[in-house]
Amino acid sequence: MSARDEILARVRSALGPPATRAGHAEPAPADPAPVPPPTGEALVELFVERVADYRAEVVRCAPDRVADAVRDGLGASASVLVPEGFPASMLGMPEGCLSVSDEALSASDLDRIDAVVTTASVGIATTGTIVLDHGAGQGRRALSLVPDRHVCVVRTDQVVAGVTAAVALLGVADPTRPLTWISGPSATSDIELDRVEGVHGPRTLVVVVVG
């Protein structure tokens, strides 16, 4: 057998058996039936699982325990940025912590603040993503990107299955708003795949899931 014949034989073997009838190939296997997206508690559990996969800290709590969960999420922060419109009933501050409001703070000013606390617009279960449209309680984009710790409150009724549902929901709310999509704390890797956190945003992300 020549080298050419050997190569062709390998190609034929890789391609599998010939067609059963001239001009008619074997029918392709049917696509599997689509799996319906989870709903209810299963949807929330998937969201919690995927957020944790990104190395974010996830806390579930009842509505009357949100302030406690936020306080615990802020840890030992000495200063916390609280955007306009953040619900006072949700705000729990560590002892001795200074609450700071945004008055056109510069990036340098924001960098000196330990943490920020915000609400969110949408949580996406399949990707473990939280989305901010920077409405009331969320502040402008820089507030959630510069401080080293971000505590974000997400209600269970804000969790949707996938990106398509999230985009549809956000578009109805206001298609002109800027959006920030967050999947875990900021992280990057160098050429040797050494993971470094906190380069492009908060080093620590705490997601408080309410409900």
- Residue 148 sits in a domain whose CATH number is 3.40.50.10420
pLDDT at 142 (0 to 100)? 93
Q: Which structural domain, as residue segments, surrounds residue 179?
A: 44-189+200-210
The average pLDDT across 86-111 equals 94
**Dihedral pair phi/psi, residue 136, rounded to 5°:** -60, 135
pLDDT at 32 (0 to 100)? 75
pLDDT at 17 (0 to 100)? 66
Range in 102-106, 121-125, 157-161 the model is least confident about: 102-106
Q: Is the pLDDT of residue 144 over 80?
A: yes
| Residue of 82, 79, 202 whose CA lies nearest to 153 | 82
Q: What is the pLDDT of residues 6-35, one digit of tens each?
A: 787 888 777 766 555 555 556 667 777 777
Separation of alpha carbons 61 and 155, rounded Å: 10
In a domain, 34, yes or no: no
Q: Mean pLDDT, the chain, as a whole number?
A: 87
Enclosing H/E stretch for 92? none
Q: What is the pLDDT of residues 159-206, one digit of tens each?
A: 999 999 999 988 876 778 889 999 987 666 556 666 555 556 689 999
Question: CA 160, 133, 183: angle at the middle one, nearest 5?
Answer: 60
The owner of tokens 């006072």 is 88
| Residue of 59, 177, 42, 191 whose CA lies nearest to 117 | 59
Q: What is the pLDDT of residues 30-46, one digit of tens each?
A: 777 777 888 899 999 99
Share of the chain above pLDDT 70, in %: 85
Range in 34-43, 66-75, 93-102, 148-157 the model is least confident about: 34-43
How many domains in the chain?
1
In a domain, 28, yes or no: no
In a domain, 27, yes or no: no
In a domain, 70, yes or no: yes
Strand partners, 207: 58, 152
User: Are 141 and 150 spatial neighbours (Cβ–Cβ below 8 Å)?
Assistant: no
The average pLDDT across 88-110 equals 94
The average pLDDT across 129-145 equals 94
In a domain, 11, yes or no: no
Separation of alpha carbons 206 and 204, rounded Å: 7
Spatial strand order of the sheet with 129-132 comes to 159-160, 122-124, 129-132, 180-182
Share of the chain above pLDDT 90, in %: 65
Q: Is the pLDDT of residue 119 over 70?
A: yes
In a domain, 139, yes or no: yes
In a domain, 55, yes or no: yes
In a domain, 49, yes or no: yes
